[in-house]
Each structure stands twice: as structure tokens, then as C-alpha cells.
Amino acid sequence: MKKSFVAVLTGVAVLFCLSVTSTYSAEKEKAAVKAATSVLTQPIAGIDGQQRGIASWKPSTRYPDPAIEVLDPSFLKYRIFNASVEMLATGFRWMEGPVWMEKGGYLLVSDIPNNRIIRWDEKTGKISIYRESSNYANGSTVDLEGRFITCEQSGKGRRITRTEHDGKITVLADTYDGKRFNSPNDIVVRVSDGSIWFTDPPFGIGNNYEGRTAKSELPHAVYRIDGKTGKVTQVLNDVAGPNGLMFSQDDKKLYVIASRAEPNRLIWVYDVDENGNLSNKTKFFEALNYGALDGMRLDVDGNIWAGWGSSGALGANPEALDGVIVINPAGKIIGHIHTPERCANVAFGGEMYNRLFMACGHSIYAVYVNTQGAENVEKAKKRGSAAQ
């Protein structure tokens, strides 16, 4: 049984269709219908779509889309001439951690301050709530069996959980050396051995907006959960504000964003041996001119597609910075996809893994590109179902 109704998702004056399944109680359905009849006239203070240029934003009718900026001729290979940046949904508070769920054909995105995970279905375009009270979930991924794994960064969480195929939630890790994690932030699966790697900065325990304030018990660090034994190992503790992370397509290199590095944010790269040991720490990229990196994904040609925006410095120009930058294997920015809001994180998805989903501030955007997500392709090969 399904009902569609107009819902208030954040308190912002936003209208969209919310699909409610039979798992919701009759009481919740009745309350939701009552809410749908309310007049939507009370936007949350400080979140004004008109001021931010969001409500008035429209996709370009011109091809190629001027929002897709070519900074080096090599990027022309990846720009599809007649593909535009599209807004899929808006009206949230701070979108993060997008992940493509191949089985089902939908995208999950964390709306952190609202303490929930949002679902967007590709076939119908419908938005629904996948999980309420998500413990301020942040970054997410899927394991080699297609199960949803997420960083619950605050509240009762501060842990890594896996959602089984039957909906049951399994806790994979919640402490290290007898101490609680800070606020797990971003997460990735190493395809070659099924191990799970995640960053643990203190961002989700520093205020009562993206979580709940709490005392930090551990240093900023990166952890590894063994794919067979489940043993948790601290693999790094010398990165300032470890944030987004990813592996090279052959799993022999690990990239980690240092989002509190001074004076500029950095991407560090490490060699990884077959046992998960790291060595040869090297600076791969430095964010200059007030730029700020957050989450990132790799394509099959070794390019990094990274969420990009202002560092918050007084001299920064957020409007010029916001979006996604594309960094080639040599560490050079070759493209910039502009969005009207800061982009926190990205994910490749869609039937051919060639649709870039962008979690940006209050909204979700997407654009088709002429490449594929490396992680998507490698996981599909492992399952024997690679997209052709």
C-alpha cells in the first residue's frame, strides 16, 4: 500500500512527493496527512532559498552547459556535450555521504542536521525518507554483497553499522582500545579483500547541530575493519581532520583528505600492501585560493572528482568555488562543475555508473559524464555483473 502526500521535510517551505510504505504506522500516516494540510509559510531562519540563489536556480538550456567548466583540454573527453547539471531535490539542511544502491536503483544521501537518510529513486524521481533517527549518519558505502554501510557520527551512534538485506542493523565497530570513536565521517570498501576503511575526525561532536556535543576520547584517525575477522585497526593518526578517503582502482594506493591541514587542505596518498599496511606518505594535492575539499570519488581513468567549496576564510568567494573539481592523476585540476551551493560529497551511479551525484548544501544535483566510477566497476566485476 502506498500513499503520496505533500510533506514538510525540514521546516523549509518545500513541496515534493513523499512515498510512504506500509511500514509506517497508521498514526504516523494520519499525522503526515495532517501536516500536509498545513500552510507552508515558515522557512527556517538563515535558510532562504532566494538569498542563496537556490529557489531561482534553473538548469541551463544551452549546450554545452556553462556550469561545466573546462580548465584543461583533457577534460573535454569527460564532458558530454548535451548533458546538463540537474537539481534532483532540494529543501534539506546539509546533504552528505551519497551512495548508489545498485540493487533497487536508488540513491541514499545523509541529511545530517535533520538526523535522517534520504532516498531518491532514479526511475520515479521520488524522494522519501529511508531512515529516521539515523544517529546523524554521514558518509556511506556498500560492501561486496551490496549491503548499506554507514558512519553514524553522533548521538547514540559514533559507530559503523551495516544494514542487512532483511533490514536488520549490525554494528561493525563502535570502539577502539576501549574508547568510543569521535564521529566516523567517511567510509570506503577495499574491493580486493573486503576490508572497510573509515575516517574519524571530531566534527560530529563539536556542536548540537550536526550531532551532539561530547568529549573526544581518541585522536583524529583512520581505521580498518578486517573483511574476514572484523578486527579494528588504527592505520593512521597523523592526519589533521581526516575526511574523504578512497582507494586507487588497483587498491594499491589510499587517498585521504586532511580537512584541517594548515594553511591549506591537502590530499595525502599512501602505498598499501596486501595486508593493509601503509607506507610512503606523499602530498598529492593542495587546495589553494581558499578552496576546501571534502569527499571524493575516482573514475576509471584515475581522475578524482571531489566536492569543492570555500574554506570559510574572509577573502574567499564561495560563488566562484562551489561545485566539484576534477583532478587528473598528476594532481592538476582539469575541470570544474559549478553548483549554486557548496558540494560536500559525490558518488557515481546509475545503470552505467556514469552519472555523478552531488550532495550540495540543501540539495542533490546530478550530471552525466563520459566516464564511470572506478569503485562501482570493480565491485561489479567482483560480483560478475559489470555494466557494459
**Residue 58, pLDDT score:** 85
- What mean pLDDT, rounded, does the chain reach? 87
Arithmetic mean of pLDDT, 293-299: 97
- Quick: pLDDT tens for 356-383: 999 999 999 999 999 999 999 999 998 8
Quick count: other Cβ atoms within 10 Å of Cβ 142? 22
pLDDT digits (tens, 9 = 90+) for 50-102: 334 455 678 899 999 999 999 999 999 999 999 999 999 999 999 999 999 99
Is the Cβ–Cβ distance between 247 and 253 less than 8 Å? yes
Contact 124, 105 (CB under 8 A): no
pTM listed for this prediction: 0.85
Alpha-carbon distance of 298 to 71, in angstroms, equals 18
The span from the CA of 79 to the CA of 82, in Å, is 9
pLDDT of residue 55: 58
H or E stretch at 34: helix 26-36
| pLDDT, tens digit, 9 for 90 and up, residues 260-288 | 999 999 999 999 999 999 999 999 999 99
Bigger pLDDT: 104 vs 17: 104
The domains of the chain, with CATH numbers, are: 1-45 (no CATH), 46-381 (2.120.10.30)
Instruction: Give the three cell numbers for residue 365.
Output: 544535483
In degrees rounded to 5, what are phi and psi of residue 189? -105, 130
**How does pLDDT run across 162-203, given as a tens digit for each residue?**
999 999 999 999 999 999 999 999 999 999 999 999 999 999
